[in-house]
Amino acid sequence: MPDNASGVSGTTEPDHRVVPASEPGPRTPEPSVVPAEAQRRAGTSHAETQHGPTNETGKAAGEPTSKRPNDETTKRQFHVGYSPERINPGDTAHSLRNVVKITAGSTPEAAEFVDALYNSVVQAGTHRVSSIAVAEAAKVIENTQRDLNIALVNELALIFNRLNLDTSEILEAAGTKWNFLPFRPGLVGGHCIGVDPYYLTYKAEAVDYHPEVILAGRRINDGMGRYIAGELVKHMIRKDIDTRDARVLVMGLAFKENCADIRNTRVVDIVHELQTYGIDVDLHDPWVDAEFARNEYGMELVDTPQAGTYGGIVIAVAHDCFIEKGIQAIKALAQPRHVIYDVKAAFPSDATQARL
């Protein structure tokens, strides 16, 4: 790839452009094509070059990666590639170089070029597929599968909590079987996992198939924030904590541990639900940029929570910095009568009053 391939302006144009536009944030059954349209404008302005853009954005299977004229001359001149991203925010072990990349192209020539391009930088190699639609479908089901697996353990947590059984202990025991998958309950956010199942649903309904399992998983996962808030309030009431005068600290805003990404974070569901009870909520996350949180969600972050302040604490995100802080330091932030809800079971079960 030329040194200037990442630039959009300048006197020397790149032979090829990779356009990693973000996926749309809103969780709606009908996918947005705004990012794809932005890619189209970036790519078609250079339709005269030998190779058009390569898209890395997750989309609904079969949605056009780039709209382009249909005349034969343009088809020969303008090529589109697709290679869905496989990043995992906060995960330093799995990077671009050591994760296999799926590749596809709008023509055999484009597919060959894109596959060779990624093979030149990805040490793990590539997996070339027959069409862009196949690559799109693979990307969507990667995230849909994870969404459903987490939905299952979330529902198990709802059941086991009613049975007064420790979900983490049960999952640990079941995990001694060689083929039991190690998923844990929690909030499902981010710009991929909570969105891609809707893309698949949208395309399924377009061919008159109405998914049931996929949407059932979405309903479970989308309800977890409200459930956690409700459980915290119930535990506070049982401890005779007046929720009308209580202040609750929510620790963590990022959609997952050890990253600053707050796109589609479901921690906001906990905050909003607690506020419906008239509870004042402080939000603390040293990973997250305060201005970004304010602009994205209208929420203010507290830099340093004050000791002895909170009737309830929700450890919503298991950042390493929270775990290293230690449960005693977290308890010091609470009033003598308090409830700590440990969403991700970051601490032993006897260290907090409630968890999934």
Classify 280 as helix, strand or coil.
Answer: strand
Q: Check if the beta carbon of residue 287 is closer than 8 Å to that of residue 227.
A: no
Classify 101 as helix, strand or coil.
Answer: strand
* Given the residues 122, 129, 135, 192, the one annotated as active site: 192
Q: Check if the beta carbon of residue 354 is closer than 8 Å to that of residue 232.
A: yes
**CA 58 – CA 265 distance, rounded (Å):** 18
Sequence-ordered list of residues with C-beta below 8 angstroms from that of 179, at least 6 positions apart, any chain: none
Torsion of CA 51, 56, 60, 64, to 10 degrees: -10
Residue entry with tokens 């924030």: 225
**CA 249 – CA 205 distance, rounded (Å):** 42
The Cβ of residue 177 has, within 10 Å, a number of other Cβ atoms equal to 7
Is residue 259 part of the annotated active site? The answer reads: no
- What is 161-186 written as a DSSP string? HHTT--HHHHHHHHTTSTT-------
Closest-CA residue to 124 (of 95, 99, 88, 103): 99
Q: Check if the beta carbon of residue 105 is closer than 8 Å to that of residue 80.
A: yes
Active-site annotation, residues: 192
